Structure 1
Amino acid sequence: MKYLLVCSVGLAGILLHLLPPSQSTSYEIIGDERTMNFICDDEDNRGNVPLRKILDTSGVHFVVADDMETLYYTGDVKMLDNLVRGPITMEVDVYRWQRSQWLPTGLSLRRDNFCEALKNPREIWYPILTKIGINVNYCPPKKGTSYTLTNVSNHVFVKNMPFADVAGDLKAVVHFGNGGRKTCVVIYLKVYTH
């Protein structure tokens, strides 16, 4: 869960790294409060195990900052189940809200071994995870593992990135797989260019 919160605001930045360089710009990324729900709609869900059977996020709450957009998450997240030995796969597809519907953006990401990707210093989330004190060497987490969030923000600035037309309301649909089990997570983001 701690990984998911950090990835929710860093995910747009990760996808921006995949774009071809043309001109540089900066992005402001804000994770929507709906992200704490994490539940995928039936149309997006290709999972066979609900996330709520894997993670207990009931101990997490947020406070709203004075800007009325920035949220600070605090609380404990607990692993409810053991994962099967073997890699955790991750697939992400990003959609933009346009004309009253979610339309594909063409941005996607796939990792065949999410734990190894977490440990890679070249991945955009690595400095974010280590900055807030996540030890990326303990992946996959075991049943009973608890992560404590302390004022983890949903608001991040990513500077000097290739320009892409990604501003707007985005939805990242994330599918994790492990040992034949799959779960779906949805992350809502607002992206502004500066």
Structure 2
Amino acid sequence: MEHWIGGIIGLLCVLQLLQGSRSTTYEVIGDEKTMDIVCDAKEDKGNVPIREVLDISGLSFEVADDLETLYYKGDIKMLMDLPSGPIGMQLDVFRWERSQWHPTPFCLKRENLCKSLINPRELWYPIFRNIPENEMICPPEKGHIYTLKNVSNHEFVRNMPHVDIAGDLKAVVHLSTGDLKTCIVFFFKVYAN
């Protein structure tokens, strides 16, 4: 009898493990507030404001018929030369709950952002694959322009582990290279399918 009860408990443990490892598709929709990429003073740990590094005034977007999907087009211009060396990135995700932003356990860290931008396994690859190959220079020099053509704010991330990430989110991204540090913020919604 004890052997049988132990087998049932073992089976329940395996089923619980399988439940937690199921694959999920996430629908990610960038918010129109993403055009305002400036971090607030509380989040910004940088020594150079992002508006002194990047000029996104040449970007615009069109709203699709579903009134949710945006298509970005235009130029992103580099305003300064970056110190030599790899660009490091730390991304922290926050969820809007009870009228304030709460930290989540989700974060990404990359020692070399340039290498990760062209990696098909990265979450942002669908966005950066739309930049013409001859413009995909990283790190960029002062005056370099990245041109976006109909880059959608609406993506599906498939075959991911199921986690509780759905909701209104923001990503606070800290970038650093040499002695330069800056901060960018992106707003988006995530739905689990």
Q: What is the TM-score of this pair, normalised by structure 2? A: 0.84
Q: Tell me which amino acid in the other structure corresponds to 2:24.
A: T
Q: Which residue of 1 aligns with 2:25?
A: 26
Q: Tell me which amino acid in the other structure corresponds to 1:130.
A: R
Q: Following the alignment from structure 2 to structure 1, what is the Cα–Cα distance between the partners of residues 192 and 104?
A: 16
Cα deviation digits, residues 132-156 of structure 1 (max 9, x gap): 5345862101111111111111000
Q: Tell me which amino acid in the other structure corresponds to 1:96.
A: R
Cα deviation digits, residues 61-111 of structure 1 (max 9, x gap): 111111111111111111111111111110000010011111111101111
Q: Which residue of 2 aligns with 1:129?
A: 128
Q: Which residue of 2 aligns with 1:174?
A: 173
Q: Following the alignment from structure 1 to structure 2, what is the Cα–Cα distance between the partners of residues 137 and 56?
A: 17
| 3-state SS of paired residue (1:120) | coil
Q: Which residue of 2 aligns with 1:102?
A: 101
Cα deviation digits, residues 163-184 of structure 1 (max 9, x gap): 0100000010000001111110
Q: Which residue of 2 aligns with 1:13?
A: none
| 3-state SS of paired residue (1:191) | strand
Q: Tell me which amino acid in the other structure corresponds to 2:100.
A: Q
Q: Which residue of 1 aligns with 2:143?
A: 144
Q: Which residue of 1 aligns with 2:57?
A: 58
Unpaired runs of 5+ in structure 2? 1-19
Q: Is the 8 A contact 2:94 2:102 kept in 1?
A: yes
Q: Which residue of 1 aligns with 2:42?
A: 43
Q: Following the alignment from structure 1 to structure 2, what is the Cα–Cα distance between the partners of residues 134 and 43?
A: 36
Q: Which residue of 1 aligns with 2:74?
A: 75
Q: Name the CA shift for 1:114/1:135 in 2 (closer, same or farther; >3 Å).
A: farther
Q: Tell me which amino acid in the other structure corresponds to 2:46.
A: G
Q: Following the alignment from structure 1 to structure 2, what is the Cα–Cα distance between the partners of residues 33 and 127?
A: 18
Q: Is the 8 A contact 1:119 1:136 kept in 2?
A: no
Q: Is the 8 A contact 1:129 1:136 kept in 2?
A: no
Q: Is the 8 A contact 1:95 1:102 kept in 2?
A: yes
Q: Name the CA shift for 1:85/1:128 in 2 (closer, same or farther; >3 Å).
A: same
Shift of 1:160: 1.9
Q: Does 1:111 align with 2:110?
A: yes
Q: Following the alignment from structure 2 to structure 1, what is the Cα–Cα distance between the partners of residues 127 and 39?
A: 25
Q: Name the CA shift for 1:77/1:44 in 2 (closer, same or farther; >3 Å).
A: same
Q: Following the alignment from structure 1 to structure 2, what is the Cα–Cα distance between the partners of residues 57 and 128?
A: 16
Shift of 1:131: 4.7
Q: Following the alignment from structure 1 to structure 2, what is the Cα–Cα distance between the partners of residues 42 and 80?
A: 22
Q: CA RMSD in A?
A: 1.7
Q: Following the alignment from structure 2 to structure 1, what is the Cα–Cα distance between the partners of residues 101 and 45?
A: 17
Q: Name the CA shift for 1:169/1:103 in 2 (closer, same or farther; >3 Å).
A: same
Q: Is the 8 A contact 1:90 1:112 kept in 2?
A: yes
Q: Tell me which amino acid in the other structure corresponds to 1:50.
A: P
Q: Following the alignment from structure 2 to structure 1, what is the Cα–Cα distance between the partners of residues 157 and 49?
A: 32
Say which one has the larger Rg.
2
Shift of 1:115: 1.4
Q: Name the CA shift for 1:75/1:136 in 2 (closer, same or farther; >3 Å).
A: closer
Aligned residues: 174
Q: Name the CA shift for 1:135/1:90 in 2 (closer, same or farther; >3 Å).
A: farther
